[in-house]
Amino acid sequence: MELEFSGELIEWRGPAPYYFVPVPEEETAALRAAASAASYGWGTLPIRAQLGGTEWRTTLWPKDGAYLLPLKDAVRKPAGLDAGDEVDVRLTFDAQPRQQKAKRTPVARPRRSREPVTDEQLTIVPANQAEWEDLQAVFGASTDTGRCWCQRFRMLPKESWASEGPEELAARLRDQTACGNGKARATSGLVAYLDGEPVGWCAVAPRADHPRLLRDFRVPWLGRSEDKTDTTVWAVTCFVTRAGYRRRGISRALARATVGFAREGGARAVEGYPDFVDGGSVGTLAMFADAGFAEVSRPGNRRAVMRIDF
């Protein structure tokens, strides 16, 4: 299904990425009907968008009974667009009814090992080279990770898990990772595979991309003189290991992989902020030390700032 329309670019201080093109009523109705027939429901909707010669994958956001097309800076800025500009957009929605998808033959899985894994056993790729379904499998749906979707440090003032909801937070992560779009710029994180199974996630991106981290008084700013807008300093903010694969060293391997990933992405430094009391989601001091990070400050009794300068 392909739709073409014109719309006025708006700036909305709601979910990132702030700039959107409202989908007109007629096109919204057509998308709603197609999504319903394909069992997508009336929520976020994965599509391909084209503006001029630029094509990218993203997710439409439901808002007041209509849809909003997010326009990321990577698309907007090169085109010289700003709020109030009129744009011509083409959307492609490939509806695939769930009942037509190939069903996997159930296989009896062997009992999962608790043996530590080595870096050689894991395949770690940038998130844009992974499939969205793989990342969904890592996060699960019944735990805190399935409610937060790695958005803790990316939320705006007055936003919370409850106010935004898991569907919207998941849509944000999908947009940030550009899963399945190998041509997109990879600056969001890494996905780990063991024997072809997705088993881990690590968020690593420019520090300035995390609004809530920038507002935090203590971490990582207490006692330091740092430019909060410096996009060449990256931050490792989240680790998730899939249920059934925990305590095998997967997060440690991901922490080590962040170093090369950040350097190749243009970072001049990368930081982590382990928690001594509850280090699971943000990492432990030992994990970062093992990856070559050095402690540069300790803002309080339970947090440290670990850093590597390239």
Mean pLDDT score, 128-155: 86
Which pLDDT score is estimated for 39?
A: 46
CB within 8 A of 80, min separation 6: which ones?
none
The yes-or-no verdict on residue 4 having pLDDT over 70 is: yes
Q: Look at residue 103 and tell me if it is in a domain.
A: no
pLDDT at 35 over 80: no
Q: Are residues 182 and 149 in the same domain?
A: yes
CATH number of the domain at 151, please: 3.40.630.30
Q: Are residues 135 and 89 in the same domain?
A: no
In a shared domain, residues 92 and 123? no
CATH at 35: 2.40.30.100
In a domain, 54, yes or no: yes
Q: Of 39, 62, 97, which residue sits at a domain end?
A: 97
Supply the pLDDT for residue 107: 46
Note whether residue 206 is domain-resident.
yes
30 and 61 co-located in one domain: yes
Does the predicted TM-score (pTM) go above 0.95? Answer: no
Residues 129, 84: one domain?
A: no
| pLDDT of 13 over the 60 cut | no
CA 66, CA 71: separation in Å to the nearest integer? 16
Question: Is the domain of 8 the same as that of 126?
Answer: no
Mean pLDDT of the chain: 84
Q: Please state the domain count of the chain.
A: 2
* CA neighbor of 192 nearest in space, from 111, 271, 246: 246
Residues 242 and 123 in one domain: yes
Lowest mean pLDDT among 28-42, 104-118, 133-147, 286-300: 104-118
Q: Which domain holds residue 263?
A: 119-309
102 in any annotated domain? no
Is it the case that residue 310 has pLDDT exceeding 90?
yes
**Residue the block writes with tokens 């300790």:** 298
Answer yes or no: are the C-beta atoms of 308 and 302 closer than 8 Å: no
Local confidence band at 185 (pLDDT 50, 70, 90 cut-offs): confident
- Burial class from Cβ neighbours inside 10 Å (0-12, 13-18, 19+) for residue 45 reads buried
At residue 42, the pLDDT reads: 47
Which of 48, 64, 97 terminates a domain? The answer is 97
Q: Looking at 97, 132, 158, which one is the last position of a domain? A: 97
Same domain, 183 and 52: no
Residues 126 and 76 in one domain: no
Residues 30 and 155 both lie in one domain: no
Measured distance CA(48)–CA(87) in Å, rounded: 16
pLDDT, residue 252, reads 94
> Could you tell me if residue 153 is inside a domain?
yes
Does 124 lie in the same domain as 66? no
- Would the pLDDT of 51 be above 60? yes
Shared-domain flag, residues 177 and 87: no
What would the pLDDT profile of 61-120 be if each residue is shown by its tens digit?
Answer: 777 778 888 887 778 888 888 888 999 999 988 765 444 444 445 444 445 667 888 888
The answer to whether position 114 is within a domain reads: no
